Amino acid sequence: MARKKREDPPKPGAAWMNTFADLMNLLLCFFVLLFSMSTVDAQKFEQVAASFAQSFSIFTAGASAIGDGILVSAGVSQLNELDEFMNSTGKASDGDIVPEDVAQTEGQIEEAEAKIEEAKIKESEELAEKVEEAIEEESLDGVIDIDITSQYVQLTLQGSLLFDSGSAVLKEESLPVLDKIGVMLERYSESTIEIEGHTDNVPMSGTKYSNNDELSGGRSLSVFNYLIANTNLDPSMVKHAGRGEYMPIADNSTPEGRAMNRRVEIRIYNSMSSY
């Protein structure tokens, strides 16, 4: 019996052909997706263009592209108009630079700020009247000067009343004055109180303080410690700081001016202040 010839099985395609076919399918899907996303609604585009032209004056005279007829379509020969184009792009008409509603809003803000400032001044004035009455009751006329701002009422005490030259130790004769001031401050214990020490510009020599900054800080701290120890003031509501020679209120070239600059200021902040 004759033997049948054995047929070889068909050879599969090369492996790279399968990968290539998959890649072509992916590229086809990718470009179809790009085409679908690039479809532009002409009506919507015109609406957007009109909106930009009205708000920012980008598209003018019916142009459909930025710079149409100025740079893009005119070519390189129009580059000498580059400065004019760049300066004019995005400019609104003179009437649109400050719209009426914006100007009106700014006016309302300014008016509101003026009213708030006026209310702050009024409250400081009312507080100053009460402080003046308390000063008269405690017989401190001529010892304390009063000033007001929209933030606080300020009591100023001359440094010579409280301290010897170059010292931050309170004088014995100043303690009755501080006792009366403490009684007065207790009436405003809910307000923030600030104690600031100031000096003249004469350099320090022969004392434990190396400069006027340390001396002014030591003096404000001495007043703070005495008031906290002898009143019911809340320490968290009382601040103290030394400002040295940097905020003079008089001319340091005269003895009288230097005496005025050596001072301690006590500020009582009103309820509308930023503190």
The predicted-structure confidence for 138-153, as pLDDT tens digits, reads as follows 888 888 999 999 999 9
The C-alpha atoms of residue 59 and residue 247 are separated, in whole angstroms, by 57
For position 233, what pLDDT does the model report? 96
The C-alpha atoms of residue 216 and residue 123 are separated, in whole angstroms, by 30
Alpha-carbon torsion angle 12, 14, 18, 23, nearest 10? -170
The C-alpha atoms of residue 229 and residue 180 are separated, in whole angstroms, by 14
For position 199, what pLDDT does the model report? 95
For position 44, what pLDDT does the model report? 63
The token pair at 41 is 């609604």
For position 154, what pLDDT does the model report? 96
For position 219, what pLDDT does the model report? 96
Give the H/E segment covering residue 48: helix 42-56
For position 70, what pLDDT does the model report? 46
Residue type at position 46: E
Which residues of the chain are under the pLDDT cut of 50? 1-6, 56-62, 64-77
The C-alpha atoms of residue 46 and residue 246 are separated, in whole angstroms, by 64
Whole-prediction pTM value? 0.62
Residues ≥6 apart with Cβ < 8 Å to 51: none
For position 77, what pLDDT does the model report? 47
For position 42, what pLDDT does the model report? 63
Q: Would you say 223 and 170 are in contact if contact means Cβ atoms under 8 Å apart?
A: yes
The C-alpha atoms of residue 187 and residue 201 are separated, in whole angstroms, by 35
For position 27, what pLDDT does the model report? 83
For position 195, what pLDDT does the model report? 98
Residues ≥6 apart with Cβ < 8 Å to 50: 59
In the chain, how many H helices and how many E strands?
Answer: 8, 5
For position 72, what pLDDT does the model report? 47
Range list of β-strands (E), 163-226: 193-198
Q: Would you say 169 and 215 are in contact if contact means Cβ atoms under 8 Å apart?
A: no
